[in-house]
Amino acid sequence: MKRMIIFCMLFFCSTMVLTETSPRRAKYRQILRKIEELESMVKEKDAELLYTPENFVDGCENTTVTCFKKGILKLQPARSQDTPKFTKAIRIVSRFTAKDKQCNSTPPCESYEKKTPKNFLKGFENLIQ
């Protein structure tokens, strides 16, 4: 009987460990949620257009992420009431990093088309997904 109880406990614990999400995946989900929050809070009218990378080169994500990080710092909240929440979301999203090798084939940020802040955030969301 003791063996059966021990076996059931081990089985239950091992299934719990297997279903737990990895820290990396949880971080990506958090960043995606913050990007969605930013989309609803960002100033769209009279806002500065931002360089938006679109065609991502495999293995060169870090340089693309750097372009998005530069653009994120230029975003502004639509309403002043959203400023604390907006600032926190910007801080979380700007911590995102991508690991890749040395990449020379990625064009500079200024070579990309300028788009509205919401389209910019959609592009960033596509990169993370």
Q: Which of the 8 DSSP states describes residue 103?
A: -
Q: CB of 118 within 8 A of CB of 39?
A: yes
pLDDT value, residue 129: 78
pLDDT value, residue 29: 87
Question: In which residue ranges of the chain is pLDDT below 50?
Answer: none
Q: Which of 65, 80, 75 is nearest to 38 (CA)?
A: 75
pLDDT value, residue 59: 67
pTM equals 0.74
Angle, helices 61-72 vs 117-128, to 10°: value is 150
Query: H helices of the chain, where?
Result: 2-19, 23-41, 61-72, 83-94, 117-128
pLDDT value, residue 1: 75
Domain covering 27-100+111-128 in this structure, CATH number = 1.20.1250.70
In sequence order, the 6+-apart residues with CB closer than 8 A to the CB of 121 are 35, 38, 39, 42
- Please, how many CA atoms are within 13 Å of residue 86, restricted to the half-sphere of its CB? 17
- Token couple for 73: 């710092």
